Structure 1
Amino acid sequence: MANQSTSSPEDEQHSQADNQHDDPQQNENDREDRPERKRPGKKPLIILAVVAIVMIIVGLWFWLTTRNIETTDDAFTEANAVTIAPKASGYVTELRVKDNQRVKKGDLLVVIDPRDSLAQRDQAQAQLGLARAQLHQAQASLELAKVQYPAQKDQALAQQAKAEANLLNAEADYKRQRGVDPRATSQRNIDAASAQLRSARAELAGAKAQVEVASQVQLQIQQQKTNVEARQRQVEQAQAQLNTANLNLSYTQVLAPYDGFVTKRNVQVGTLVQAGTALFSLVSPDVWITANFKETQLEHMNPGDKVEITVDAWPDMKLEGHVDSIQMGSGSRFSAFPAENATGNYVKIVQRVPVKIVIDKGLDPNQALPLGLSVEPKVRIK
């Protein structure tokens, strides 16, 4: 219908508000009719108190269990690793190992062509045989000289005695020829006696000289002894050359210096190698941990402290060990380019010091940890 009016919700709200302001008594009655709000009980407070106590206990327990523990994530596995290189040159004729193979000390790893070394050894053996033969000859000459030279002296003395007798006879003949009546002899006989006298004197002088030479028996024997000593030195020299040849021959066989694993192999059969050429690396199975702790963590850390070790590669592996030693210097001090703190502007940086940790338990003897693995040690300090 045209005269009927419509009212909006806003008009009704305004009208109700006006009615409430106009009737205070009714407002009071409405408040009395409303139910009262219940106050919160003690149960939430109790729960809150229990949670707070539990948190305090947990925090206290965590502090008590970790206050004597120093840890770092800057720690890695380490072991002895050497580069295997030959001392002989030649072609590789045998390769006895594969990549990452475990070997024992003394195992044959590589064989280099030994023919050149064998020829040198045979030549040295021949030189040694010749030197020994010459030594035996010199020793025989010495034994002969000990008999020969005294006999020669005696023979020289006998020749001297004979020459003296001949001289006496010649002198006697000469005196007879000069003392008789010239008519009873001839000038020829006198000249012959005179010549015989001079010859006897010459023979005596020669015999005396022979005696003087033959009398040097000790010097002659000493000369033979010196010859024997020289031959002995030659034998020793030849033996040394043979030892060197055998040593060079042994270098053609590369042996494992200790138990370990073959890594980084870069040699094949037929490869021409030179002395000092790197063939591969040999890693020892005896692994330790190098942990780089901050210098502020070392105050109470001492060798012998127990360590719990976790390996990132095998989270379930739990190792136990102890602190072996603390390096006498920070890592930066022994780096290739140590910091020059006395030059330019200085900014203090907390240094890290390597700590060696030896593994005591938890590692399978047949299992070795590769080098450079990340680990997390927890050191219990006293």
Structure 2
Amino acid sequence: MKNKIGIVIILLLIAVFSVFAFKWVKHRMEYAVTDAVFVESDSMANLSFYRVKGRIVKLQKKEGDYVKKGEVIAVLDDTDYRTKLEQIKNQIESLRLKKKALQEKLSKIEEAVKIQIRTSLLNLQQVKASIEATKHRISQIEKEIQLAKKDEERFRSLLKKELIPERKYDLVKTKLDVLLEKKKYAQKKLEELKIQQKKAEEGITLAENEKKSIKELKKEIESLSKKIKSLEKQKEDVENQIRYTKLISPYNGRIAKKFVSEGEVIPSGRPVYSVVPENSLYILVLLEETKLDGIRVGSKANVYIDAYPDKKYRGEVFEINPATAAKFALVPRDVTAGEFTKVAQRIPVKIRITEGDISVLKVGLGGEVEIKKEK
């Protein structure tokens, strides 16, 4: 009886083992299974301060913390940059005040020159007209004097012959003397007008010379404008540098590594944090070449991470590398000497996680994967 029971137990054990063996073999035929699995990220970045250096006054995050896009995660002391900005602002303000004063001076000079030229031209025209009139008057007086001289000579001859009374001669002589005085007065007037003409012409010349000072003022104003423009660019650059003293996360993600400490003085470009972007994690599988058959882009996969044995992840293949991992080794095997040991090569396969809590995953974690083979 006991022998029969023993035989039954053995047969049951063999049956159970056969079932499990069948399932295991079937599973291995349907899935490519490997433990050469790593959590990776295709865009993990080291963040650093751009174009600025100095003492770190604040580190907002620690390793493992979640960060949002646009969030300030570190701050540099910006005292020196703000001092420089204030100096540039003062220089700009000083140059603007100087430029304004020169512009006001230029406006006054231009207006004065316009008035001076307009007045001088008007005076010149009037003087020239008066000169012409005076010349014409002198010409008429000279003609009258010629006639008066002839009358005076004729009456003097008649007076000598006692043909006319002296009174008549005196009238003719007086008329001649008056004409001579008129001519003398007119000539004096003409000289005065010529002096006025010269002064008017000199006024125009002085006004024209003032135009040279206007040109110099315009050049000086233009030079100040260029200096102000240059300082405005410097001001904008320093304002940008002040903004750069705040390190901002470029995307949502988690802090993978903190490289510096508060109070430390760092140069521009030195890494402060390493950030893993949200949704950038994937599973890298180094799949043996013997298991590659039936694996396609889109193949479904079950992923198990050693650090979280109670959590299950699902995914699908989104990339199969066209070269083996050995091709990218730092020291690739040299088979040209004829020495060769056959080793199963591994093909990098990338799996995108479609189900599971990826917030707990860390780059570099290992695990196991089952990839469903396509028929």
The TM-score by the shorter chain falls in which range? 0.5 to 0.7
1:139, distance to aligned residue in structure 2 (A): 7.4
Whether contact under 8 Å (1:326, 1:353) holds in the other structure is yes
2:34 to 48, 51, 72: 72
| Whole-Å separation in 1 of the counterparts to 2:58 and 2:120 | 72
Whether contact under 8 Å (2:121, 2:200) holds in the other structure is no
| Whole-Å separation in 1 of the counterparts to 2:62 and 2:372 | 42
Corresponding residue for 2:163?
none
Whether contact under 8 Å (1:84, 1:280) holds in the other structure is yes
Q: Verify: 1:249 aligned to 2:212, yes or no.
A: no
Corresponding residue for 1:375?
367
State the secondary structure of the residue aligned to 2:35: coil
Alignment TM-score, normalising by the size of structure 2: 0.66
Whether contact under 8 Å (2:116, 2:204) holds in the other structure is no
Corresponding residue for 1:304?
298
The Cα RMSD (Å) is: 4.7
Corresponding residue for 2:45?
82
- Residues 232 and 207 (structure 1 numbering): CA distance in 2 closer, same or farther, change over 3 Å? closer
Whether contact under 8 Å (1:292, 1:354) holds in the other structure is yes
State the secondary structure of the residue aligned to 1:127: helix
Count of matched residue pairs: 329
Residues 254-301 of structure 1: CA deviation (Å, up to 9, x unaligned): 333333333443433322222222334233453211112245544543
1:267 to 257, 260, 263: 260
Give identity over the alignment, percent: 21
Q: Which structure has the highest helix share of the two?
A: 2
| Whole-Å separation in 2 of the counterparts to 1:208 and 1:371 | 86
| Whole-Å separation in 2 of the counterparts to 1:279 and 1:307 | 36
Q: Which runs of 5+ in 2 are unaligned?
A: 150-175
**Given residue 129 of structure 2, which amino acid in structure 1 is its aligned partner?**
A
1:321, distance to aligned residue in structure 2 (A): 0.9
1:309, distance to aligned residue in structure 2 (A): 0.3
**Given residue 372 of structure 1, which amino acid in structure 2 is its aligned partner?**
G
- Residues 373 and 164 (structure 1 numbering): CA distance in 2 closer, same or farther, change over 3 Å? same
- Residues 351 and 143 (structure 1 numbering): CA distance in 2 closer, same or farther, change over 3 Å? farther
| Whole-Å separation in 1 of the counterparts to 2:355 and 2:265 | 45
- Residues 198 and 53 (structure 1 numbering): CA distance in 2 closer, same or farther, change over 3 Å? closer
- Residues 71 and 143 (structure 1 numbering): CA distance in 2 closer, same or farther, change over 3 Å? farther
**Given residue 83 of structure 1, which amino acid in structure 2 is its aligned partner?**
N
1:159, distance to aligned residue in structure 2 (A): 3.5
Residues 203-261 of structure 1: CA deviation (Å, up to 9, x unaligned): 676678789999x9xxx99x97x998876665544333222212212233333333333
Q: Higher relative CO (CA 8 A, sep ≥ 6), structure 1 or 2?
A: 2
- Residues 198 and 176 (structure 1 numbering): CA distance in 2 closer, same or farther, change over 3 Å? farther
| Whole-Å separation in 2 of the counterparts to 1:370 and 1:246 | 37
